[in-house]
Amino acid sequence: MFLNPEKPAVILAPMEGITDAPFREFITRTGYYDYCVSEFVRVSATVLSDKVLRRHIPELLHESKTRSGTPVQIQLLGGDPDRLAESAMNAIEAGAMGIDLNFGCPAPTVNRHDGGATLLQYPDRLEKIIRAVRDRVPTHLPVSAKMRLGFADPEAIYENAKRAEQAGASWITIHGRTKVQGYIPPAYWKPIGKVRESLSIPVVANGEIWTIEDFRKCREETGSIHFMIGRAALARPTLAKQMRKELGLPLCLPESQAYSFTEGLDPQTWSGIFENYAEVQPSEKRIKQWVRYLAHQRPVAWWEPIKGLGSTPEILNCLREFQESP
Ligand SMILES: Cc1cc2nc3c(=O)[nH]c(=O)nc-3n(C[C@H](O)[C@H](O)[C@H](O)COP(=O)(O)O)c2cc1C
Same domain assignment for residues 87 and 199: yes
Residues 117-128 pLDDT 10s: 999 999 999 999
Confidence of residue 264 (pLDDT cuts 50, 70, 90): low
User: Which residue of 40, 192, 231, 286 sits with most ligand 1 atoms within 8 Å of its CB, as the best mutation to test the pocket?
Assistant: 231
Same domain assignment for residues 34 and 147: yes
Find the 323 Cα to ligand 1 centroid distance in Å: 32
State which ligand 1 atom lies nearest to the alpha carbon of 231.
27
What pLDDT, on a 0 to 100 scale, did the predictor assign at position 293? 80
Range of the domain at 276: 267-324
Q: Is the pLDDT of residue 272 over 80?
A: no
Q: Is residue 3 part of a domain?
A: no
Q: Is the pLDDT of residue 326 over 50?
A: no
> Among 214, 230, 257, which residue terminates a domain?
257
Find the 324 Cα to ligand 1 centroid distance in Å: 36
Find the 147 Cα to ligand 1 centroid distance in Å: 11
Same domain assignment for residues 276 and 312: yes
Q: Is the pLDDT of residue 273 over 70?
A: no
Q: What's the gap between Cα 167 and its chain centre?
A: 22
> Among 230, 257, 284, which residue terminates a domain?
257
Taking CA atoms only, the protein residue closest to ligand 1 atom 15 is 15
Same domain assignment for residues 243 and 277: no
Q: How many domains does the chain have?
A: 2
Q: Is residue 110 part of a domain?
A: yes
Most confident of 110-119, 249-258, 292-301: 249-258
Q: Is residue 299 part of a domain?
A: yes
Same domain assignment for residues 70 and 216: yes
Residue 105 is a catalytic residue: yes
Taking CA atoms only, the protein residue closest to ligand 1 atom 5 is 15
Same domain assignment for residues 225 and 317: no
Q: Is residue 1 part of a domain?
A: no
Which amino acids bring their CB within 6 angstroms of ligand 1? 13-18, 39-40, 75, 102, 104-105, 146, 175, 206-209, 229-232
Residues 218-230 pLDDT 10s: 999 999 999 999 9
SS (H, E, C) the chain: CCCCCCCCEEEECCCCCCCCHHHHHHHHHHCCCCEEECCCEECCCCCCCHHHHHHHCHHHHHCCECCCCCEEEEEEECCCHHHHHHHHHHHHHHCCCCEEEEECCCCHHHHHCCCHHHHHHCHHHHHHHHHHHHHHCCCCCCEEEEEEEECCCCCHHHHHHHHHHHCCCCCEEEEEEECCCCCCCCCCCHHHHHHHHHCCCCEEEECCCCCHHHHHHHHHHHCCCEEEECCHHHHCCCHHHHHHHHHCCCCCCCHHHCCCCCCCCCHHHHHHHHHHCHHHCCCHHHHHHHHHHHCCCCCCCCHHHHHCCCCHHHHHHHHHHHHHCC
Q: Is residue 15 part of a domain?
A: yes
Q: Is residue 4 part of a domain?
A: no
Residues 96-151 pLDDT 10s: 999 999 999 988 887 777 889 999 999 999 999 999 999 999 999 999 999 999 99
Find the 322 Cα to ligand 1 centroid distance in Å: 31
Same domain assignment for residues 81 and 229: yes
Q: Is residue 2 part of a domain?
A: no
Domain of 95, CATH number, reads 3.20.20.70
Confidence of residue 265 (pLDDT cuts 50, 70, 90): low
Same domain assignment for residues 205 and 310: no
State which ligand 1 atom lies nearest to the alpha carbon of 13.
17
pLDDT, mean of residues 49-54? 94
Confidence of residue 312 (pLDDT cuts 50, 70, 90): confident
Percent of the chain with pLDDT strictly greater than 90: 68
Find the 15 Cα to ligand 1 centroid distance in Å: 5
What pLDDT, on a 0 to 100 scale, did the predictor assign at position 317? 82
Same domain assignment for residues 190 and 282: no
Same domain assignment for residues 73 and 215: yes
pLDDT mean across residues, the chain: 91
Confidence of residue 286 (pLDDT cuts 50, 70, 90): confident
Same domain assignment for residues 238 and 89: yes
Same domain assignment for residues 115 and 159: yes
User: Which residue of 175, 234, 293 sits with most ligand 1 atoms within 8 Å of its CB, as the best mutation to test the pocket?
Assistant: 175
Q: Is residue 120 part of a domain?
A: yes
State which ligand 1 atom lies nearest to the alpha carbon of 173.
19
> Among 231, 257, 283, which residue terminates a domain?
257
